[in-house]
Amino acid sequence: MCLIGEYFNNVLKISLENYIVISGPCHAEEIALERLSYLTVASQNINLAKLLERILKNNYVKVKCSNDIIGTEYSAVLKNIYAIASGIANGLNYGDNFQSVLISNSIREMQRFICNISKIKRDINQTVYLGDLLVTSYSKFSRNRTFGNMIGKGYSVKTALIETNMIVEGYYAAFSAKKINSTYRTKIPIIESVYNILYKDRNPKKVFEKLSKKLN
Query: What band does 28 get if pLDDT is binned at 50, 70 and 90?
Result: confident
Query: What band does 141 get if pLDDT is binned at 50, 70 and 90?
Result: confident
Beta bridge partners of 64: 40
Average pLDDT over residues 75-82: 97
Cα 121 to Cα 20, 30, 34, 142, 182: the distances in Å are 19, 31, 33, 29, 24
Catalytic residue list: 79
Average pLDDT over residues 39-64: 96
Average pLDDT over residues 192-203: 98
- Percent of the chain at pLDDT exceeding 70: 100
Average pLDDT, the chain: 95
- Predicted model pTM: 0.95
Beta bridge partners of 61: 37
Give the closest residue to 74 by CA, choosing from 32, 43, 106, 115: 115
Query: What band does 183 get if pLDDT is binned at 50, 70 and 90?
Result: very high
Cα 127 to Cα 38, 102, 117: the distances in Å are 8, 18, 20
Measured distance CA(189)–CA(10) in Å, rounded: 30
Query: What band does 184 get if pLDDT is binned at 50, 70 and 90?
Result: very high
What domains does the chain contain, in order, with CATH numbers?
4-66 (no CATH), 70-212 (1.10.1040.10)
Look up residue 124 and give its amino acid. Answer: I
The pLDDT assigned to 2 comes to 84
Average pLDDT over residues 136-165: 95
